[in-house]
Amino acid sequence: MRTREAGAGPLERGDQTRRHILDVSAVLFAEKGFAGASFTDLVQASGLTKGAFYFHFPSKEALALAAFADQQERWVEVVSRVADPSMKAVDQLAAMLRAACDFYETEVAARCVSKLCFELGEDPRLRPTLTPYLSIWEELIASIIRRGQVEGDIRGDVDSGAVARVSVAAWIGMNDVARVVSDGADFRARAEEFLEILMLGLRPVVAGETRGGSR
């Protein structure tokens, strides 16, 4: 599944092992959470000896932070890939949301990011490492909203930062809810609903337009 390093030439054995541990652990963290996945589970899932495993990751926390950063990087890569300079901002927003839904549906490992962020985030010591996961998305969305305002597709009087914060929080909440309600199956439908309701408020209303109030 992970081929980007392979394309860059054969990996050192150590790098391959590290890569393997990260991939396997991300799936386990996504499924069981940080507390739920024991170090023994993780070592067993890797098929490695305890010694080989410890050589790469001396603690479950170090492993979780590395898996978090690694999967977070994949999210940014996958979602940024759909950005196209010729695309209007509002279309880019929708395309990014859909690319993120595709990724969510096909890559169980990627789901560890949100889970680890909030579970590890209970520990104030780790927050400075984790919160950039939120701000990178907030900044990306805010910049697209501002472009949409310049392009005239988004009303100029909304606070782009507020829209971005609400969008990121809604995404995370939909993640939580979809997992418990449908094991993730209705996540995409929820995300589309959110986009529709959000855009209802963001579209500029031009003079003379009627927008279907109930009276």
* Interface contacts to its own copies, rule CB under 8 A: 32-33, 35-36, 117-119, 121-122, 124, 127, 130-131, 134, 149-150, 152, 154-159, 162-163, 165-166, 168-177, 179-181, 183, 190, 193-194, 196-215
**Closest approach of its own copies to the CB of residue 8, in Å:** 34
- Tell me how far the alpha carbon of residue 106 is from its chain's centroid: 13
Query: What is the rounded distance in angstroms from the CA atom of residue 170 to the CA atom of residue 182?
Result: 17
Instruction: Give least dist CB 68 to its own copies, A.
Output: 12
Nearer to its own copies, 80 or 131 (CB): 131
Q: Which is nearer to its own copies, 67 or 130 (CB)?
A: 130
- Shortest CA distance to 107 belongs to which of 64, 83, 134, 72? 72
Query: Among residues 41, 63, 64, which one has the least CA distance to residue 54?
Result: 63
Q: Which is nearer to its own copies, 18 or 147 (CB)?
A: 147
User: To 10 degrees, the CA torsion angle through 2, 60, 34, 191?
Assistant: -30
Q: Which is nearer to its own copies, 58 or 173 (CB)?
A: 173
Length of the chain: 215
Least separation in angstroms between residue 56's CB and its own copies is 25
Count CB atoms within 10 A of the CB of residue 47.
11
Residue 47 Cβ vs its own copies, minimum distance, rounded to whole Å: 24
Q: Considering the complex, what minimum distance in angstroms separates the CB of residue 208 from its own copies?
A: 6
Q: What's the min distance (Å) between Cβ of 151 and its own copies?
A: 8
Q: Three-state DSSP class for 195? A: helix
Distance (Å, rounded) from C-alpha 184 to C-alpha 105?
A: 8
CA distance 33 to 120: 10
Q: What single letter denotes the amino acid at residue 36?
A: G
Enter the tokens of residue 208.
């003379």
